[in-house]
Amino acid sequence: MKVERLGVILKPIKEHKWESLAVFNPGASYDGKYVHLIYRAIGKGNISVFGYAKSRDGINFRRMKKPLLVPKPKPKFRPRHRYEFKGYEDARITKIDETYYITYVHTMPEWWGARTCLCSTRDFKNFKFYGIILPEIDDKDVVLFPEKIKDKFVLFHRIKPSIWIAYSDNLKHWKGHQIVMTPRKTKWDCAYIGPAAPPLKTNKGWLLFYHGVDFDKVYRVGFAVFDLENPSKLLYRSDEPLMEPESYEEL
């Protein structure tokens, strides 16, 4: 597996106050025609909101002038719950049938930690909000599988320092939590790990790209393969990272 760097696809827009400082860490989904991107944006006030962009080629994106999701009453959506007041991070998009499910993290004071929420949409205009979907503990990096397995919804999530799996009948209540992958003490992913994107189904198993962090806080990307019928079973894990920071924009 090789990686080809094609350059920066989004930059801050100074004229848009809500994304004037930084744009990064997007979730993406391809529907056969467009790549849909929900990205984290920061502007004046250091509040994180979500922007939306779409592209036919995955490189040249058209962006909305207003944020898609914000922790204030304007311009499009307001918080659904008290815990969303500080902003949103880490959108991850999974298409199941004709619906896009978006897991995301709401930010709170450090003592409270991160909480993972879920919303869904069919058109990136109208949204259904599910609220917090996992136990109220510091938990993030949640990615849904693109199909049910043995009639259950499945997700990976990250309670530091490991990657966990869980199952649900209805997307709201999750059970069967167990660790499926842990950091490796002598490698590039020695401090903690977490899912980077939703799993991809291949003939070898479920392919998961994940980030690994060392004790110098350097993030790198590797991959792992899990059994198709039993996704809690790890089949393979990359010894070396697939990607690591090289350019200024990646640092």
Distance CA 165, CA 2 (A): 28
Structure tokens at 40: 């984290």
Q: Is the pTM of this model over 0.75?
A: yes
Looking only at the bridges linking them, the beta strands covering 48-55 and 35-42 are: antiparallel
The answer to whether 58 touches 4, Cβ cutoff 8 Å, is: no
Q: What is the pLDDT of residues 173-207, one digit of tens each?
A: 999 999 999 999 999 999 999 999 999 999 999 99
> What letter would DSSP give residue 34?
-
Q: What is the pLDDT of residues 212-237, one digit of tens each?
A: 999 999 999 999 999 999 999 999 99
User: Under 8 Å CB-to-CB from 39, ≥6 apart: which residues?
Assistant: 10, 23, 24, 25, 26, 27, 50, 51, 52, 53, 91
User: Under 8 Å CB-to-CB from 140, ≥6 apart: which residues?
Assistant: 89, 90, 105, 114, 116, 157, 158, 194
Burial class (CB in 10 A: 0-12, 13-18, 19+), 110: exposed
Identify each DSSP E strand in 31-67 by its residue range: 35-42, 48-55, 62-63
Q: What is the pLDDT of residues 102-117, one digit of tens each?
A: 999 987 655 566 789 9
